[in-house]
Amino acid sequence: MPTPLRHAAALLALAVAPLAAQSHPQVREGLTVSVGFGAGSAKFTCDVCGTERQTEPTAYFRIGKAYRPNLVLAWEINAWTRTIQDGPEEFSLSLGTGNMLVQWYPRPTSGLFVSAGAGGGGAILDEKSPTPANRLHDESWGFGYQVGTGYDLRLGRNFSVTPFATYFATAGAKFEGTGIQLDGRVLHVGVGATWH
C-alpha cells in the first residue's frame, strides 16, 4: 500500500477508536444512503503522466435498501480524479464505476461489513483549454467492479460515521483517440456518513 494510504488508514483508526465504545445499537431497516470522501491510488500510462501510481481525491455515493438486519442491496458510484500539467496545457483525468452492490454484515449486531459489486466503469480525459473548439476530449467505457470493507460507528439511532477501504476497477479502459492506456484500478480509503 502506498505511504499516503497507509498514513490515511492509520489516522482513521486513531480517529474512530474512541467512538466505538459510544456507538448506538446497530439497526438496519428500509432506505440507506451513504456518501464519503478519501484518497485513492491509481496507475495509468500516457506520454505526459508517466507510469507511477498516483494518489488523488476520491468520493463515493451509495443508495440502497436493507432487506435484512445483516444485508443491504444498493447502487454505488465511485470516482477518482487527477489534474495533469504538461507545460502550458492542463488535463483532467477521471476514473469511475457504477455498480450494483451487496453489503453484508457478518454479525448483525456489529457495524463491520464487507461488500462486492459489479456494473459499469470508465474513464474521461479532458483538456482544460480556454478555446472549446480545440479542446481535447476522450473517453472509454466498459465493465466495472468493486470489493470493500468498512465499519458503521453509530453516533445516533439512524446515523453512522463509516471508515472504509474500497478497491474499484474498470476493464478495457483505453482511449482510442489518444492511445492512452489505463490500468483502471483504484484503492481508496476514507470516511463516509451513512443514514440507515
73-87, 117-131, 164-178: which is most confident = 73-87
Confidence of residue 7 (pLDDT cuts 50, 70, 90): low
Residue 71 to residue 103: CA distance in whole angstroms? 6
- For 165-172, what is the mean pLDDT? 87
On the question of pLDDT at 49 being above 60, the answer is no
pLDDT digits (tens, 9 = 90+) for 137-157: 778 788 899 999 999 999 888
CATH numbers and ranges of domains, the chain = 3-195 (2.40.160.20)
Comparison of pLDDT for 97 and 5, the residue scoring more = 97
Distances 4 to 8, 54, 61, 104, 153 between C-alpha atoms, Å? 6, 10, 23, 28, 24
Helix, strand, coil percentages in the chain from 3-state DSSP, rounded to 5: 10, 65, 25
What are phi and psi for residue 13, nearest 5 degrees? Answer: -60, -45
pLDDT tens digit sequence for 13-36: 545 555 554 557 888 889 999 999
Please tell me the pTM assigned to this model.
0.80
